[in-house]
Amino acid sequence: MKKAISYLVKYGIPLVIGVGLMWFLYKNVDINSMMDTLKTDVNYLWFIPVAIVSIFSHVFRALRWRLQLKAIDVKPSFSAVLNSIFGTYAVNLVFPRLGEVWRCGYIANRQKASVTQVMGSMVADRLTDTVTVLVLTFITFLLAQSAFGKFFDAYPQMKENFLNIASDARIWLGTALVIITLGWLLIMKTENKIIKKIQLMVRNLWEGFAGIARMEGKWWFLLLTLLIWGCYFLQLYLACKAFNFTSSLSVLAVLVMFVLSSIGMGVPTNGGLGAWHLGIIFGLSLYGVGVFSINNPDKNASTFAMFVWLFQQVLIIALGLYAFASMAIDRNRIEKGKTVVDTTNDEIKL
């Protein structure tokens, strides 16, 4: 019963949130008008480079994570790491956030390494993305103050709500208490077996996380981070070129959409279901593609968000199927001794 409730909370609630957001955004959208837009206002050839750039974003992410893994003496082949990245996004479509745990388990099991250390490197990987989003958000809000100012002038209550949340002392106090409590649990001396296990797990996580500070090729890590997020942005920019009503949007307009949709991906829904759409539709409204309205939604903005998101999910599924097939072949080669997995040196294929 407890497991069933746990699974319901982990995977049921994100699905409910995503479906709820989709219903909220699309309940008043005319589906026939969306189909007409897809027939007349889209140049689908643009989605060929979108797919290519998307694949390269995964390649760069695999190269970056491999650098981190080598820093903790875990040395999988590039193909194994790339398959784990492809698989991560496919798993996340069904089970939000489980993909990251799955990829750590896969690499740790394949390389006979510590799961918690590998997970620590993944935490560092994702923390880097979080910092990148925060930096991009700060820069974008500075550059696009006029666009956001117009929106908040039209919706003053929303601005007031944001300010109230940001200035709520209870939120800051609660955050501080959580940090202090966690710090105390980690440094306290105890014979309690449960707490000691938690401390050991956190130390292993920290070891994987701290690997980023001593790894070789720090500049490569920075360059790959820029390439990953550059690809993410370029995907959206190229997708905008495919639609007649977004083809003339400025780089700044696309950057605003990109940042808002990236923030939306932080909401634990299946593949950004609903949350990504919300960020895109809101961003488009700031630059004249419709008005942000639930009662009278703009068909163009709604169509753009829906089609681009669906294209991304189809590509993720295709890459995921390739990855799982490739991993099955790799596992078979290892079992037959045709691929020797050496935990201290690069792998040898016989």
pLDDT score recorded for residue 181:
75
Q: What stretch of H or E contains 114? A: none
The pTM is what?
0.84
Residue 97 · residue 266 · CB < 8 Å:
no
pLDDT score recorded for residue 54:
97
pLDDT score recorded for residue 9:
62
66 SS3 class: helix
Residues listed for the chain: 350
Per-residue pLDDT of the chain (350 residues; tens, 9 = 90+): 655 566 566 667 787 888 888 888 888 888 899 999 999 999 999 999 999 999 999 999 999 999 989 888 899 999 999 999 999 999 998 888 789 999 999 999 999 998 888 888 888 888 889 889 989 989 998 898 887 776 666 656 656 666 676 677 787 888 888 778 767 766 777 777 777 777 666 666 666 556 666 677 788 999 999 999 999 999 999 999 999 999 999 999 999 999 999 988 888 788 888 889 999 998 998 888 877 777 778 899 999 999 999 999 999 999 999 999 999 999 998 887 877 776 665 665 65
pLDDT score recorded for residue 154:
60
In the chain, domain spans:
20-332
Closest of 21, 58, 68 to residue 294, by C-alpha:
21
pLDDT score recorded for residue 301:
92
Q: Report d(CA 341, CA 312) in Å as an integer.
A: 33
Q: Report d(CA 44, CA 219) in Å as an integer.
A: 37
In our burial notation (b when 16+ CB lie closer than 10 A, e otherwise), range 291-328 reads ebeeeebbbbbbbbbbbbbebbbebbeebbeebeebbe
pLDDT score recorded for residue 179:
76
In our burial notation (b when 16+ CB lie closer than 10 A, e otherwise), range 18-29 reads beebbeebbeeb
